[in-house]
Chain A
């Protein structure tokens, strides 16, 4: 059974640009969440989608947005990139609430 797939694995962008990250959950998983991991702030929740609806949102500026498609695949977008957005972005999916997430390997975004 394929795991959670995130593309691309690595990205280098310039300040002010925008970026879109992609996540394909495990087949049958309808809940997809995104987390940002940085050395300073650790792992922080960005948002969670279930059946194309955003159910939870973390404390991030409006530059961070996401969506989920009918096949449960998800994308997150960051506009007007800042140096501080450099991080590992992790996507995770779950089948049922409380089961615990299965995480992808992440997309490492570097903003220069």
Chain B
């Protein structure tokens, strides 16, 4: 069975600092990987996805993620965060060909001035 581990439940950073949110997955078959962001009282918004091809994926709002098959990781990065990036971030995996997403527990990113 697939599973997703987000290693940090909370990450506080200062504005304009870089940030990395970590995600590891377990699956014995090829997978699709996603990062979603959730702002308070809202649904989930897709930040970026990895389906195949280049292991470095660029998304919206200046975020990027790198797929590392050998380490089964898909960490999310941003070189300089803004106050508006404060939100909860979810890593998710789906088995290729399936629409079912398995989510991690989420990482709450707090950007302080």
Q: Hey, which bits of chain A sit against chain B, CB under 8 A?
A: 4, 31, 33, 35, 42-45, 48, 50, 55-56, 58, 90, 92, 94, 97-106
Q: Determine which of A31, A90, A104, A105 lies in contact with B99 in the assembled complex, contact meaning CB atoms within 8 Å.
A: A31
Contact with A along B25-65 (1 / 0, CB 8 A): 00000001010100001111110010100000000000000
Q: Once bound together, how far apart are the Cα atoms of A97 and B47, in whole Å?
A: 17
Main secondary structure on A side of the interface with B: strand
B51 touches A98 (CB 8 A): yes
Q: Determine which of A4, A48, A90, A99 lies in contact with B100 in the assembled complex, contact meaning CB atoms within 8 Å.
A: A48
Instruction: Provide the residues of chain B in CB contact with A102, threshold 8 Å.
Output: 46
Q: Hey, which bits of chain B sit against chain A, CB under 8 A?
A: 32, 34, 36, 41-46, 49, 51, 90, 92, 94, 96-106
Q: Once bound together, how far apart are the Cα atoms of A101 and B90, in whole Å?
A: 13
Instruction: Provide the residues of chain B in CB contact with A105, threshold 8 Å.
Output: 41-43
A55 touches B46 (CB 8 A): no
List the A residue with the shortest CB-CB distance to B106: A42
Q: Which of A31, A50, A98, A100 is packed against the most chain B CB atoms within 10 Å? A: A100
